Each structure stands twice: as structure tokens, then as C-alpha cells.
Structure 1
Amino acid sequence: MANITMRQMLEAGVHFGHQTRYWDPKMAPYIFGARGKIHIINLEKSLPMLVDAMNFIGGIASKRGSVIFVGTKRAASKSIEEEAKRCGMPYVSHRWLGGMLTNFRTIRQSIKRLRQIEKMEEDGSFARLVKKEVLQLTRERDKLEKTLGGIKDMKNLPDAMFVVDVGHEDIAVKEARKLGIPVIAVVDTNCSPNDIDYIIPGNDDAIRSIRLYTQLAADAVLEGRASVPHIDDSDEFVELDEYGNPVKRAAKDSKAKPKKAEKKKVAKKVVSKKAPVAADAVETVKEKAGEAAEKVEAKAAEVAEKAKAKAGEAVEKVEEKAAEVAEKAKAKAGETAEKVEEKAAEVAKKAKAKASKAAGKVEEKAAEVTEKAETAAKKVTEKVEEKVKAATTKKKVAKKKVAKKKTAKKAAVKKSTED
């Protein structure tokens, strides 16, 4: 089913393993050798194992089973998401939540919440909400879409799991083993092949090699689905007698006849029709199943109509209650707003009065301080002036004394010369 050559694997770099110091000894049978301290994977062993794994995936798809694609590391997330979407299979490409398989009932509740938010966005419920609520819902939706967007259409547990990098996705592998789900995994030289049902020895780090694995897995799913025979309503089931010849069906309104007569007629009448073959039991079961299906559909239609009516009534009641609550909230909000405005006005008035009083007191204190400063300055200037006057008078007196002494000396000199 898988068309892959060794040249394609070489070009994608499937043969490159990890460094020799990081190897797992259990991968020794799949290692060809080492080159430049890097292990080389033996593609002669890897190719048939890859083909077997892809054939197994195709067989599951041919039985209308589902295969979940798992690869959350950066190199694998994009190709896992694209190829899983291409073949219509569930996938996990962002982060594996613990209990995604073992606690699937709880995960279903989160998926239900995601669908509810998406429905609210589609039917225009966001327009009735406040911006903050819309932002919260969009953030919640984006978070759920990242982790659960790939499995939101998965109604039951998958029939198999395709994993890229067993070491990185060890929790997913453990959950699958616990539930008995077969695991198809790409195993590099640094990982253990234990607990893997279909081992694909190869490079799980290179983007090109991961792209090759995911493309092959998606192609195997598509081929397996294409091989399923499609039965239309126009197809007819034909009875066979004990000799393998087709038997003409009796009309429904005809009366029942003994079995021996039926066998004789069956042996004589032959009808040549090219259609799938079935036995009498299949026809009777089909007729009963058709009648039961019609009854179930009628009951389902009645139940659906009743449920729709009840849902409509419930929605109307909820809308009425929501309108009442909104009106009450608006009234309360108006009253509280008026009260807040009144209180704010009172507080503003009190603040203004206090501010004016404080300003008056400050002005009075400032006037007192200025008066005191002026009086002190006047006193200082008076004292300075008095000191200046005293100093000038002292200088004048000293000058007069000096002049008197000079005149006295001159007079004494004259007397001495005259004598």
C-alpha cells in the first residue's frame, strides 16, 4: 500500500540518528554504524518496517477506524496538523494534556465548552455581551482550540496512534498502552522501542523526514478509505439456493407456503442478476431492521419536536429573566450612580471649604510673618545707622585731636627757633 523507496528516505535524511553518546542499546539491531560520532540507521531494516506500519494504518482506515496523529514538538507540529487535516484524522500538535485518552470523559466536557463558545460566536451572541466578556470568551476559545482543536470531532477513543518522537510523547504512549491502543511510532537511536507495536526506525528531528512520515501515514489512511466498498440504495441483494444459483424473491403479499414446495420451486426457477449475495436470514433481518429504523426515526422526530418546543420555551424564559435582571441591574446602577454623584459633590464642597479655610489661615500667618520680618529689619537698620553715626563721630574727634597735636608741635618749633 505504501509506495516508498530507499532513495526517498536517503534524500529526507531518515538514516541520520543521534550522537553515539546518547544512544539507547535497545536500538542496536536497527543501527548500521557510526560516522563522525553520529549513528547511521540501517534503511534496509527500516524500509520494510515502515511499509508494514503504513499497511497497518491503511487496514485500520479500511475498517472505518480512526488513527490519532501525535507530534507536539516544534519540528513536527506543523506537518502533523496539515497531514491529519488532509486525511480527516484527529491530531494533537500543541500539547498533550494528561488524561486525554484515559480521562476522555472529562476532555469531552472541555470540547463541549469549545463548541458552545464557537456556536455563540456564530449565532451573534457576542454582540449582546460586554467587551470584557467577549475578550474573556475569545481567550478561552483560543486556549481550548490550541489544545483540543485537533480532537474536537473525535467522538470515541482512536483505534491506533501514530507518534513522532517517542521520548517527547512518552505520556501519550503510556496512555495508549494502558488502554490497549496499538502504537505506530518513529523511534530514533536515543529512544527505547519498548511498548511500541509498529516501530519505524528513523530520524525524528529533521523536518523533511517528519514530513515524509506524516505524508505516508496520511496517504495510507486515504488509500484505506478508498478501498472500502460503497453500497448504494440501488444495490440489490440476491438469494442463492443450495446449488449456488440465484433465487427469485417472492412477493410480500403472497401467502406463506411449506418449505418443501419452496425448495422445489427454488431448484426450478433461476434469475440472472449481477449483485451482492445474501441469505434468507439477511433479508428478514433487513426488513425487520428497516421497520425498526422507521419506528425509531418517527419516535426520534417526535422527541426532537418536543425537545425543540421545550428548548424554545426555555430560551424564551431565559431571555425574559435576563431582560428583567438587566433592567434591575440598570436601575440599580442608575441609583448608585446618582448617589455616587451626590456624595462626590458633597465631598467636593467640603474639600473646597477646608481648602479656603486653610488658605485664609496661611495668608494670616504669612501676613504676621511679613510684619515681624519688617519690624525686625527696621530695628536692624536703626542699630546699623546708630553704629555708623558713632563711628563717624569717633573719626571726626580723632582727626581734630591729630590736627591739634600738629599745631602744637609747629608752635613749639617756632618758639625754639626764635629763642
Structure 2
Amino acid sequence: MAVVTTKQLLESGVYFGHATRKWNPKMKPYIFTSRNGIHIINLKKTSEEIEKAYQELLNIITSGGKALFLGTKKQIQSAIREEAQRSQQYYVDHRWLGGTLTNFKTILKRIELLHLLHKQEEEGLWKKLPKKEVVQLKRKRDKLEKFLGGIKDMKDLPQAIFVVDPEKESIAVAEARKLGIKVFGIVDTNCDPDLVDYIIPANDDAIRGVKLIIWLMANACVEGTGGVAEKAETFDAKNPLKPQNYNAPNKRPYQDSPRKPSYQNQNQNQI
């Protein structure tokens, strides 16, 4: 039985690519046609690639591996967090810290500090400190929690990383590839598919579509740990269809908000 139906993909608007002038020629095998200056992604290809990604991720988790879900766009942060937690996997839903994978020993030290701060607060040690110092400690803890909360239980590197937008998360993708970690990703028509091991050609601005794919990858992880994957009706109930405004300026169909230029910060500041 297919893990996703064509109807679900259609309703979620995953088939709308970017403007034809912005395309990456390497995405040609996944493009069906163009309409009004917008590339239309081949849903048959999307369905096939989702099946491949699902089965491979299922195999990795069944073999005892772990996955890291990565998506820092504000519109999908909650979906990344909730689905990773549902499937008992790791996640990063805010800015990716350079070296999270390639300099993991340093990141582990920051995670240890986060656990220490939580422990100190729980044991009431902060009550003995001056108010100003407690405020500083809380601020430090909250900052660590924001960036490392989703990986604070990660003792070793994950075996797979699922990325919503490989173009935006290029540093994370480069780190994973350098370490031989399998990269799964939603790849739009303007992206380079060669950067991803398991490509899912889809509109990365269609929020419902992105949530659908995140949900599917989480299902693979749930199934891989011996659980029961959620049914399509559950996803539909959590993500009801909304009427689309096709005349909104600077928007692609099914895009919840105008797309802003993405500039990759080459010098990621550690915390």
C-alpha cells in the first residue's frame, strides 16, 4: 500500500515549483511542464521518491539508527518539533549552529551545560543566588534550549538527516555529507538534487505540503521503532484544507507567505 496518495499530494500543492527562470537544470527529470512561468513538478516522480525515502528511512531506524529532522523556516518549526517528538527522533527548528555535526564534541559540552543548568534549577540551587545572577542563568539556559533542545539527548551522531530546504540549510547538508550521514530532503526546482541522497521533489513553500512530507518521514520512523504509523485521516484532521488566494502578489500557489531572499550566513556564531 502506498504511503501517500496522489490526492493528498494534489491537495497539498507540492507540485508547484519555482519560476522557470530560477530553475536548476539538474531538476529537469522531476519537472512535468511549465505553466504561466512556473514549473510544474511531476507528481508521479514525487510519489516514487517519497516511497524510496520512506523505505530507506524505515530501514535505517529499524536497524537501530536515529534521524535528525531539520527545518528552520518559521512556518514549519512547530511541525518539525512535533513530528520529531512523535517519532522519538532529534530535531533542530531554529538556526543551525555551524559544527553541530562536524564538531560534535564541542556541541556535547554545550549540551552538558544545558543539562547542568536544568538540574541546578530543579534542585533549588538557584534560590540561594542573587536575583541578577539567576536572571543571567535563565537567559543562558533558554538560549541553549532554543538551539540545542531538540538534540539534548543525542549522545552520538545520527545516521540520517531529513532537511526541509537543502538550499537554506546548506551548511548542515555539507556537514552531513562530509561525515557520510544519509541526507533526505525536500528539493524544489531551484535546488541542486546532487546534494541530497534521497530527494523528494516538491514545493518547499507549500506549508501543508511540507507538513505532509514531514509527517510521512515521521511515520517511517514510528514504524521503524515498532510503532503504528498514523493514518491519512489523522493528518487531514490536524491540517485542514484552506482556500487558496491565487492572486496574492509575490506568491506562488499554496505559499502561505511571500518568499524572501535567502542569504546563507557563512560565519555561524556559536552560543
Scaled by the length of structure 2, the TM-score of the pair is: 0.82
Indicate how the Cα distance of structure 1 residues 221 and 16 shifts in structure 2: closer, same or farther if over 3 A, else same. same
Query: What is the deviation of 1:17?
Result: 0.7
AA in 2 matched with 1:221: C
Matches within 5 A, 1:188-267: 188-226=188-226
Equivalent residue for 2:186?
A: 186
User: Any residues of structure 2 matched to 1:98-113 within 5 Å, and which?
Assistant: 98-113=98-113
Matched ranges for 1:294-313 at <5 A: none
**3-state SS of paired residue (1:8):** helix
Deviations 1:212-233 (A, max 9, x none): 0111011111111117xxxxxx
Letter in 2 for 1:156: D
Does the residue aligned with 2:185 lie in a helix, a strand or coil? strand
Relative to its length, the structure with more helix (as a share) is: 1
Residues 337-366 of structure 1, C-alpha deviation per residue, up to 9 Å, x if partnerless?
xxxxxxxxxxxxxxxxxxxxxxxxxxxxxx
* Secondary structure in 2 matching 1:58: helix
Range with greater deviation from structure 2 (93-102 or 55-64): 55-64
Task: Name the SS for the 1:126 alignment partner.
Answer: helix
8 Å CA contact 1:6, 1:43 repeated in 2? yes
Alignment correspondent of 1:173: 173
Is the partner of 2:195 in helix, strand or coil? Answer: coil
For residues 10-409 of structure 1, the aligned pairs below 5 Å read: 10-226=10-226
For the 8 Å contact 1:2–1:216, the answer to whether it is kept is no
Would the aligned equivalents of 1:67 and 1:89 in 2 still touch at CA under 8 Å?
yes
TM-superposed deviation, 1:63? 1.2
Amino acid at match of 1:107: I
In 1: Cα distance, 2:177 partner to 2:72 partner: 19
- CA distance in 2: counterparts of 1:3 and 1:50, whole angstroms: 8
User: Residue 191 of structure 2: SS of its match in structure 1?
Assistant: coil
Q: Aligned in 2, Cα 1:2/1:182: closer, same or farther, shift over 3 Å?
A: farther
Asked if the contact 1:69/1:80 (under 8 Å) is kept, the reply is yes
For residue 194 of structure 1, give the secondary structure of its aligned residue in structure 2.
Answer: helix
- SS across alignment from 2:4: coil
Q: CA deviation at 1:76?
A: 2.3
**Residue type at the aligned position of 2:15:** H
State the Cα distance separating 1:198 from its structure 2 match.
0.6
Once residues 23 and 78 of structure 2 are traced to their aligned partners in structure 1, the CA distance between those partners, rounded to angstroms, is 27
1:305-348 Cα shifts (integer Å, max 9, x gaps):
xxxxxxxxxxxxxxxxxxxxxxxxxxxxxxxxxxxxxxxxxxxx
**Local SS of the residue matching 2:225:** helix
**Are 1:111 and 1:152, in contact at CA under 8 Å, matched by a contact in 2?**
yes
C-alpha contact 1:54 1:217 (8 A) present in aligned 2: yes
The residue type equivalent to 1:27 in the other structure is: M
For 1:30, give the aligned amino acid: Y
Gaps of 5+ in 1: 228-419
1-side partners of 2:94 and 2:48: how far apart?
31
Following superposition, the deviation at residue 60 of structure 1 comes to 1.1
- State the shift of 1:126 in Å: 1.1
Assess if the C-alpha contact under 8 Å between 1:2 and 1:55 holds in 2.
no
Higher-Rg member (1/2): 1
Q: Distance in 2 between matches of 1:74 and 1:189?
A: 21
Distance 1:100 1:225 in 2: 25
Once the two structures are TM-superposed, the CA of residue 195 in structure 1 deviates from its matched residue by 2.5
CA deviations on 1:252-298 (whole Å, 9 max, x unpaired) are xxxxxxxxxxxxxxxxxxxxxxxxxxxxxxxxxxxxxxxxxxxxxxx
3-state DSSP of counterpart to 1:60: helix
- Aligned to 1:101, what secondary structure does the other structure show? coil
Runs of 4 or more consecutive aligned structure 1 residues displaced over 6 Å after TM superposition: none
How far does the alpha carbon of each residue in 1:101-128 deviate from its partner, in whole angstroms, 9 at most, with x for none?
Answer: 0000000000000000000110001110
* Cα deviation, residue 2, structure 1: 5.6
Q: Distance in 2 between matches of 1:80 and 1:55?
A: 20
TM-score (norm 1): 0.53
Counterpart contact for 1:75–1:205, Cα < 8 Å: no
Unmatched tracts of structure 2, length 5 or more: 228-271
Q: Paired residues, what number?
A: 228
